[in-house]
Amino acid sequence: MGERERLLRLLSASDEATKLSAAIRLEEIGDEAVIEPLIQILNSEYRWLPSKAVAFVLGSIGDKRAVEALTMRLERMRSFSRMTGHPEESIEERDFRNVVEEAIEKIHEREECTEEPIPRRETLRERIGRARIEWGP
C-alpha cells in the first residue's frame, strides 16, 4: 500500500489528530489522483472535522471535478437542516459552509489563472496553526 492509499484510509480514523495529519499530508502531496477517493469520503462522511479537512484539501488541489461534489454536500447539509426544523446554522455548519465556499472559490481561481501564477492561499497546516493561536491549545 502506497502513502496516498494509507493517508486516504487514515481520514476515516477515529482520532481527530490522525485525520488532520492525513489531510495535511494529502494537501502537501497535491496529487490529483486523490480527487475521486476524497469525493467519495466527502459523500459518505458526516462528521464535521474530516468533512472540513477533505473540502479544504479538494480546494487546495483545485480540480474542477470537486465542485459538483462540494456543492451537493453543501445542499445536503442545508436540506437536512430544513428537514429537522433547524433553519439557523450551527457553528459547525457555518464553519463547514465557509470552508466549502472557499474551496469552490479556489478551484474557480485556478481555472481562471491558466496564464498567470496562481495566488498563494493559506495551507491547511497554516490554518490549523492560526486556529491554535486564536483559540488556544
Residue 120: per-residue pLDDT? 59
Average pLDDT, integer, range 85-106: 86
Specify the long-range contacts of residues 116-119, CB closer than 8 Å, at least 24 apart: 118/62
Average pLDDT, integer, range 25-44: 87
Average pLDDT, integer, range 30-59: 86
Domains parsed from the chain with CATH numbers = 3-135 (1.25.10.10)
- Which residue in the block uniquely carries the three cell numbers 494509507? 6
Residue 128: per-residue pLDDT? 65
What DSSP letter does each residue of the chain carry, written as one string? --HHHHHHHHTT-S-HHHHHHHHHHHHHH--GGGHHHHHHHHHH--SHHHHHHHHHHHHHHT-THHHHHHHHHHHHHHHHHHHTT--SPPHHHHHHHHHHHHHHHHHHHHHH-SSSPPPP---HHHHHHHHHHHH--
